[in-house]
Amino acid sequence: MTPRLIRFNKPYGVLSQFTAEGKWQGLKDYIALPGVYVAGRLDADSEGLLLLTNDGPLQARIADPRFKMEKTYWVQVEGIPDEAALATL
């Protein structure tokens, strides 16, 4: 098996899973590669880089909290957030 690592710019309204649920689309509407799995997740109402792989150990290193892989998130907010909003974020 050749290891694969797919970078996908997940749009708003798409779940970080292949199966759709309710009003949310699934990845199967965008990715037609059998045997790849999501490494991590983004909420359906967010967008950004999502990694998929067919390499189980790599997927675990990226997604499993035990490995504490550092991740950076950028957020966009409306208006100027106060200290309480920043703490929540």
Would you please indicate which residues are annotated as catalytic (active-site) residues?
A: 43
For residues 49 and 65, is the Cβ–Cβ distance under 8 A?
no
Residue-wise pLDDT tens digits, 33-64: 889 999 988 999 999 999 999 999 999 998 88
pLDDT value for 73: 80
CA 53/CA 69 separation, integer angstroms: 16
CA 47/CA 73 separation, integer angstroms: 11
Chain mean position to CA 8: 9
pLDDT value for 67: 86
Average pLDDT of the residues in 1-14: 93
Handedness of CA 34, 71, 23, 21 (dihedral sign): positive
For a pLDDT cut of 90, what percent of the chain falls above it? 65
pLDDT value for 65: 87
